[in-house]
């Protein structure tokens, strides 16, 4: 498959690269690394992400190349879709991309990957999509530079939770070490990604911690971030990134859920609002299966889904689920 993908990419004049909405460090890192690399080969590339780039990632070299709109999809010979378990993760242009661009290449590491696209580089054992992209760049013989290395390093650093999550593998360390030899400065990257929060973000942390509830059996924690909390602290949805890890760190908690109210709901007026639910597990429960039941997906240890409902109903639904954490959700 790698050979065919390289053939397809090198014979394409114009390539669209896209990653998932509300991008994380891996979605942005893998997008930039692939884009810069293919451009070095002389390909014409367009880097696309539907959502704004979170402030903490705006230091990445060439990040300004990522655009929120693409004009004419007919111009592209190939589309490279990165860090997306399914095509819809790309956002509103997903259907058009599939209908218009002749070849879609799926590069991803989610266990729930739907195997979309004509060509696929899907490896669920990869710590990040950026790891797979590193392998692709190596296989294509493209020369690494500091910009590409910084993008790959950031993707791996953030998707492994700074080498703490269960997806942390040998490749994570090996590649990041190589990226350092290419000029990556870990403390510089960390100072942007983890050390440049607004005061509002810290205040949001306070509200989010205060919202944590625990199920009777102690196996489930629920954290809530509402639009009201964002407004009160003058923060954006991106500022809720990583908060769920606090809910997961509690002793005896097997699954942590963050119920995050989205802005495209109908605000506080109606009963039904739109929420994204992030799930994290301690390794004993496969949360990707739970997320898939609700139309989402992800990894065994980190997954998510979105739904329209009321906060009370979603909480009840998640609490009901926690009764079974000792039984059918267990990983073998
Ligand atoms: P999050 O819920 O945004 O914290 O994401 C946790 C993991 O699940 C990430 O790897 C996401 O890419 C994945 N994920 C989140 N939402 C979805 C969804 N609706 N469909 C598929 N994968 C998702
Ligand atoms: Mn991602
Ligand atoms: Mn990823």
**Host H or E run for residue 18:** strand 14-19
Q: Same domain, yes or no, for 209 and 292?
A: yes
Residues with Cβ–ion distance below 5 A, ligand 2: 24, 26-27, 83
What pTM value is reported for the model? 0.95
61 CA distance to ligand 1 middle (Å)? 25
- Ligand 1 atom, smallest distance to 279 CA: 2
CA distance linking residue 313 with residue 328, whole number of Å: 23
Per-residue pLDDT at 263: 84
pLDDT digits (tens, 9 = 90+) for 281-307: 999 999 999 999 999 999 999 999 999
Rounded Cα distance, 19 and 46, in Å:
12
Could you tell me the CATH number of the domain that includes residue 214? 3.10.310.30
* Ligand 1: residue whose CA is nearest its atom 6: 303
163, 247: one domain: no
- Is 109 in the same domain as 141? yes
Structural domain including 316 reads 199-329
- Computed over every residue of the chain, the mean pLDDT equals 95
Residues 3-30, mean pLDDT to the nearest whole number: 98
**How confident is the model over 33-56, as pLDDT tens digits?**
999 999 999 999 999 999 999 999
Averaged pLDDT, 82-95: 98
What is the distance in A from the centroid of ligand 2 to the CA of 271?
30
pLDDT value at 327 more than 80 = no
Whether residues 119 and 210 fall in one domain? no
Q: How many residues does the chain have?
A: 332
Beta-bridge partners for 44: 14
Question: Which ligand 1 atom is the nearest neighbour of the CA of 27?
Answer: 12
CA 208/CA 38 separation, integer angstroms? 41
**Do 73 and 211 fall within a single domain?**
no
- Å from CA of 129 to ligand 3 middle: 5
| Residue 63 shares a structural domain with residue 173 | yes
Q: Answer yes or no: is pLDDT of 253 > 60.
A: yes
| Choice between 144 and 268, residue whose per-residue pLDDT is larger | 144
- Give the H/E segment covering residue 280: strand 273-281
| Confidence check: pLDDT of 268 > 80 | no
Q: Do 75 and 189 share a domain, yes or no?
A: yes
Report residue 265's pLDDT band, with 50, 70 and 90 as the boundaries.
Answer: low
Residues 113 and 6 in one domain: yes
Spatial strand order in the sheet of 66-67: 66-67, 44-48, 14-19, 78-82, 103-108, 119-122
Phi, psi angle pair for 104, to nearest 5°: -110, 125
The band of 331, judged by pLDDT with boundaries at 50, 70 and 90, is: very low
CATH of the domain at 141: 3.90.1640.10
How far, in Å, from the CA of 24 to the mean position of ligand 2? Answer: 5
Residue 332 pLDDT class (50, 70, 90 cuts): very low
Q: What pLDDT shows up at residue 323?
A: 81
- Residue 220 and residue 267 in one domain: yes
Q: What is the mean pLDDT of residues 226-248?
A: 97
In a shared domain, residues 159 and 279 = no
DSSP secondary structure, 141-185, as one string: TPPP-HHHHHHHHHHHHHHTTTTTSTT--HHHHHHHHHHHHTT--
Q: Is the pLDDT of residue 178 over 60?
A: yes
Residues 145 and 19 placed together within one structural domain of the fold: yes
β-bridge pairing 119-122 and 103-108: parallel
Given this model, what pLDDT does residue 325 score? 76
Q: What is the pLDDT of residues 108-154, one digit of tens each?
A: 999 999 999 999 999 999 999 999 999 999 999 999 999 999 999 99
* Number of structural domains the chain divides into: 2
130 plus 242 within the same structural domain: no
Mutation pick for ligand 1 pocket among 116, 303, 308 (CB with most ligand atoms within 8 Å) = 303
């Amino acid at each position: 498959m790698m050979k065919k993908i390289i053939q397809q990419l090198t014979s394409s004049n114009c390539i669209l690269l896209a990653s998932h909405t509300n991008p994380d460090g891996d979605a942005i890192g893998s997008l930039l690394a692939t884009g810069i690399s293919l451009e070095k080969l002389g390909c014409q590339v367009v880097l696309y992400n539907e959502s704004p780039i979170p402030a903490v990632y705006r230091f990445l070299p060439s990040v300004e190349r990522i655009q929120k709109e693409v004009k004419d999809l007919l111009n592209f010979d190939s589309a490279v879709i990165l860090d997306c378990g399914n095509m819809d993760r790309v956002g509103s242009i997903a259907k058009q991309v599939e209908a218009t661009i002749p070849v879609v290449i799926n590069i991803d590491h989610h266990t729930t990957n739907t195997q979309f696209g004509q060509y696929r580089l899907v490896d669920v054992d990869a710590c990040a999509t950026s790891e797979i992209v590193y392998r692709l760049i190596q296989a294509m013989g493209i020369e690494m530079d500091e910009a590409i290395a910084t993008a790959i390093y950031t993707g791996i650093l953030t998707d492994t939770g700074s080498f703490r999550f269960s997806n942390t593998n040998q490749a994570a360390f090996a590649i990041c070490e190589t990226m350092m030899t290419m000029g990556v400065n870990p403390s510089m990257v960390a100072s942007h990604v983890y050390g440049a929060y607004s005061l509002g973000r810290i205040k949001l942390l306070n509200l989010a911690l205060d919202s944590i509830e625990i199920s009777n059996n102690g196996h489930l924690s629920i954290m809530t971030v509402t639009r009201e909390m964002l407004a009160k602290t003058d923060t954006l949805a991106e500022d809720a990134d990583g908060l769920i890890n606090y809910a997961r760190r509690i002793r005896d908690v097997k699954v942590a859920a963050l119920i995050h109210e989205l802005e495209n709901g109908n605000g506080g007026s109606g009963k039904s609002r739109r929420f994204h639910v992030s799930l994290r597990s301690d390794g004993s429960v496969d949360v990707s299966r739970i997320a898939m039941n609700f139309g989402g997906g992800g990894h065994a240890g980190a997954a998510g889904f979105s739904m329209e409902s009321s906060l009370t109903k979603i909480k009840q639904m998640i609490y009901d689920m926690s009764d079974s954490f000792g039984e059918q959700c267990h990983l073998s």
